[in-house]
Amino acid sequence: MLKRYLIVVLLMFSVAIAGCGTQNKVDVTQDLVAAQTNLENGNLDAAMSSYNAAVSADPTNAEANFGAAMLGVLQVAVDDNTRSFAGKFNVSLPTNLNTLLSTNAAAKASSVINFATIKQSAASPAITPGEVQAYIKNTLIPALDTALSRLANVESNPDFKYIVTAKMSKSAKDREIDLGEIYALDMLGSFIKAGLHEAIAYNWDYSTSNPLAETSFGTLKSDGAANMLSAKDAYIRMFTKWADGLNSIAAETDDQSDDCIPKYINSAEKDSFLKYINLVKNSLENGATTIDINSDVNMVVNLKTFYSSPVPDWKVYYNAAKNNYKDFDFTINGIFPELTTPVKWNNFIVSLK
């Protein structure tokens, strides 16, 4: 009886798997055409709606993911959290992209900032670093995560090409975006994401005119170590996409005259970039890595230690410097494990000349 039951379950599972493999994709051509038409007409909000509809109907569609990723990042400028945050600076933002990007709209928004309101004394900030960090954590990082996820979907389509028409860009000619440009966008987004995670890892709030005398100022937050690890992962992704982009562009065989990022004329320059990209990436992933600065000078760099075991309190560097650098960590938390003294730092700097 049990054997028969297992056979039935296995058959049902096999049918389910086969069904998933043969399921037809939804045709989202109409949504994509509408999005492009709206972009050419300057209607970004309608284009965003069309791309979102296409992604919902076919989450694997490369063009839909690309459009939704790019416009999704712009959309952050007018979402509720951003408008609330801007209100702290007496800036009133519109609720849609079309109004925001209309002629002189941005300039008009910046002109209504009441600098008297946002001017802050050291003891009583009008807006605290913690509030900025909360905005980064709750709004900017999630938006980047969504965009990077969508770009990853695009990158899984090796033949992806998107034409930015002259009408869209208000320029003289069409421009082609392929995987090389997608990797470049991914690299940039990952770089920004890494910096944002670093920005929220430490407590920078203060309540007196001398923050450096406050116990909690400059200390790692309860989720700070996790954010530093996220920063490390984002930097690893950045260097990975940088290398992927260089290799992808180098492998292109089509006409480069309309590419946003054309091929390197000198392949040796590309190889040099790849060498250093991989060395820094290795330092993030595996620790101590010897990096050649020039033909005569190299240094050991350990970025993994810096991000995996972050500094608990940055004030120790300030306090040690005040105390004639007694017990000062010249390795900067292990980034430069060989540069342990001022003399070694000086010798290294001299060697670069």
**Which residues pair with residue 178 across a beta bridge?**
161
pLDDT at 60: 94
- Same domain? For 224 and 321 the reply is no
pTM, two decimal places: 0.86
Instruction: Locate 286 and state its tokens.
Output: 């595996």
Residue 291 forms beta bridges with which residues?
Answer: 299
Domain presence at residue 8: no
- The whole-angstrom separation of Cα 164 and Cα 170 is 10
Q: Clarify whether residues 309 and 276 are in a common domain.
A: no
- Do 212 and 307 have their domain in common? no
Q: What are phi and psi of 198, to 5 degrees?
A: -65, -40
User: What's residue 131's pLDDT?
Assistant: 95
8 Å CB contact between 92 and 86? yes
Q: Is residue 193 part of a domain?
A: yes
Residue 15 located in a structural domain: no
Domain end residue (candidates: 271, 286, 301) = 286
Do residues 150 and 228 share a domain?
A: yes
Three-state DSSP class for residue 85? helix
Domain final position from 286, 317, 342: 286
Domain of 334 in residue numbering reads as 287-353
Is 118 contained in some domain? no
What pLDDT, on a 0 to 100 scale, did the predictor assign at position 23?
A: 46
292 assigned to some structural domain: yes
Q: Give the pLDDT of the chain (353 residues) as one tens digit per residue.
A: 444 544 444 444 443 434 444 445 789 999 999 999 999 999 999 999 999 999 999 999 999 999 999 999 999 999 999 999 988 888 888 999 999 888 555 555 554 444 444 444 444 446 899 999 999 999 999 999 999 999 999 999 999 999 999 999 888 888 999 999 999 999 999 999 999 999 999 999 999 999 999 999 999 999 999 999 999 999 999 999 999 999 999 988 887 887 888 877 788 888 999 999 999 999 999 999 999 988 788 999 999 999 999 999 999 999 999 998 888 999 999 999 999 999 999 999 988 87
Q: How far apart are CA 317 and CA 327, in angstroms?
A: 9
Report the pLDDT value the prediction gives residue 264, as an integer from 0 to 100: 77
Q: What angle do helix axes 141-155 and 179-199 make, rounded to 10 degrees?
A: 160
Are 312 and 333 contained in the same domain? yes
Decide if 170 is inside a domain. Answer: yes
Is residue 89 domain-shared with residue 150, that is, in the same domain? yes
Are 197 and 303 members of one domain? no
DSSP of 242-307: HHHHHHHHHT--S--TTBSSPPPS-HHHHHHHHHHHHHHHHHHHHS-EEEESSSS-EEEE-HHHHH
Q: Are residues 292 and 246 in the same domain?
A: no
120 SS3 class: coil
Nearest to 161 by CA among 246, 86, 27, 258: 258
Tell whether 68 and 199 lie within a shared domain.
yes
Out of 270, 286, 302, pick the residue that ends a domain.
Answer: 286
How would you classify the pairing of strands 175-178 and 161-164? antiparallel
Q: Are residues 130 and 209 in the same domain?
A: yes
Q: Which residues contact 291 (CB under 8 A, 6 or more apart)?
A: 276, 279, 280, 283, 298, 299, 300, 301
Compute how many other C-beta atoms are within 10 angstroms of the C-beta atom of residue 2: 6
CA distances from 174 to 81, 245, 259, 262, 309 (A): 36, 21, 9, 14, 48
Are residues 337 and 275 located together in one domain of the fold? Answer: no
The predicted pLDDT at position 8 comes to: 43
Structural tokens at position 170: 């208000």
pLDDT of residue 103: 54
Q: Residue 18: inside a domain, yes or no? A: no
Question: How many C-beta atoms lie closer than 10 Å to residue 104's C-beta?
Answer: 8
d(CA 190, CA 185) in angstroms, rounded, equals 8
**Does 249 fall in a domain?**
yes
Q: How far apart are the first and last CA of the chain?
A: 82
Per-residue confidence (pLDDT) for residue 255, from 0 to 100: 79
**178 shares its domain with 253:** yes
Q: Work out how many domains the chain is built from and give that number.
A: 2
